[in-house]
Amino acid sequence: MIMTTTAQATKTAPTTTPARSIARLLLHGGTVFALLALIVFFFAMRPDVFLTFVNVKNILFQVSILAIIAGAQTVVMVVGDFDLSVGATSSLAGAVAASLMLTGVPIAIAITVALGVGLLVGLVNGILIAVVNLSAFVATLATMTSVVGLAYLVTAGTTLFDLPDGFNNLGQGRLLNIPLPVYFAIVISFILWGALRFTTIGRRWHAIGGNVEVSRLSGVNVRRARLLAFTIAGLVSAIGGILLAARLGSASAVQGGDNMMFSVAAVFLGMTVIKSGASNLGGTMIGVAIIGVMSNGLNILGVNAYVQQVVTGLIIIAAVTLSSLKTRQR
């Protein structure tokens, strides 16, 4: 029975003109296309620098922390929420680890405590949103504000440095001439990707993002799943923050702040990559790559850092406009 219906309904290939298929390629592959275009553009401008091994390594190094935090953001956005506190949480985790180490606490314990702090912030977000039923916007805006305050308290408003070498090596060390944070980013992204795709909680997250009410009536414990998503986001943000502190060899209350905006941007860019327009980790990584390539390329061309920020905003608008055209077309 099933075989016959499937065979019957085999879709006939739609007839397309070349012009239309190019238009479709631009729409569907627009974001990937933009990434390639950026790479070609910067390569053409500075062939001597841009695509050299050293610079590619640089780009990877620069985006590794953002990749981790954007991974955390992806999990929350798959569930249909978002988390404004990821950047602040990462700063706080870095600051906690640094200040503990400066008082003589062993590296491993300092890191564990910092991870615990991130987990706790995520848990608080989760409780506020999934149990108390605040909107994600209000709840994470509030926790962001408090968490930044806590980070200032921990650092006493200064920048903490003179961190142990063993700790700094986590961010500055190399394996096979490639910086360690790159490996961390790759491993964490793979774990999150696998969790989203192959685990029961991942499927539940996707379902909730698709339709909360349907999921609830299907027997999904929506409250627990959302709570878990925010908790994981907090934990993963803390990992990002600790690595950032190690890479910089210092910790301040604001050093992770930029990553919040960029992580949301990366997920939005990533949503334009796939047909359904949902958050997805692969797409997020392409978004991260776009942001990284652009910032590196503009640096190489000597463009002012503030201009870079303006351009990032414009790119997001372009990508999201493109994807809304796509949905309208469907």
Partner 1 sequence: MTMLKPPANQTALITPAPAFEARDIVKHFDGVHALNGAHLSVQPGEIHALLGENGAGKSTLIKIATGLYSPNAGTLHRNGETVEFANVRMANRAGVVALYQELSIVPTISVAENILLGEQIPNRAGLVQWKTLRRRAKERLDSLHQKIPVSQLAGELSPVQQTMVAVARALAADARVLILDEPTASLTDTEIRDLFMVLRSLRDQGVAIIYVSHRLEEVFELCDRLTIMRNGETIVTKRVADSTINEVISTMVGRSTGELYPDRGTATATVALTVENLHGHRVRDISFTAHAGEVLGIGGLAGSGRSELLRILSGAQKHRSGEITVDGSALPNSPGVARTLDAGIALVPEERRSQGVILSASIQDNIALSNISAVSSLGFVSGGRIATIAQRGMAELQIKARSPRQHVGELSGGNQQKVVLAKMLARKPKVLLMDEPTRGIDVGTKAEIYRLIRHLAAEGTAVIAVSSELPELIGMSDRILIMHEGKISGEVAAEGADDELLLSYCYGKPE
- The residues binding partner 1 (CB under 8 A) are 1-2, 5-6, 9-11, 198-204, 206-207, 210-211, 213-221, 276, 278
According to DSSP, the residues that pair with 127 across neighbouring strands are none
Closest among 278, 293, 327 to 32, alpha carbons compared: 293
Widest CA span of the chain, in angstroms? 72
Our CB check for partner 1 shows the closer of 42 and 268 to be: 268
CB of 284 to partner 1, least distance (A): 18
Cα separation, 43 vs 51, in Å, equals 6
Neighbours of 191 (CB within 10 A): 12
Report d(CA 178, CA 119) in Å as an integer.
29
Amino acid at 279: S
Query: What's the min distance (Å) between Cβ of 1 and partner 1?
Result: 5
**Considering beta carbons, is residue 5 or 17 the nearer one to partner 1?**
5
Compare residues 215 and 250 and give the one whose CB is closer to partner 1. Answer: 215
Question: What single DSSP character describes residue 128?
Answer: I
Residue 163 to residues 39, 106, 107, 196, 260: CA-CA distances in angstroms? 36, 11, 10, 35, 25
Provide the minimum distance between the beta carbon of 237 and partner 1 in the complex, in angstroms, as a whole number: 23
Question: Within 13 Å, how many C-alpha atoms sit on residue 175's CB side?
Answer: 8
CB 214 to partner 1: min, Å:
5
| Residue (170 or 201) nearer to partner 1, CB | 201
Residue 210 Cβ, how far from partner 1 at the closest point, in Å? 4
- At its nearest, how many Å lie between partner 1 and the CB of residue 9? 5
- Report how far Cα 52 is from the mean position of its chain's Cα atoms: 26
Query: Which residue number, 27 or 278, has a Cβ lying nearer to partner 1?
Result: 278
Length of the chain counted residue by residue:
330
Select 16 or 218, whichever has its Cβ closest to partner 1.
218
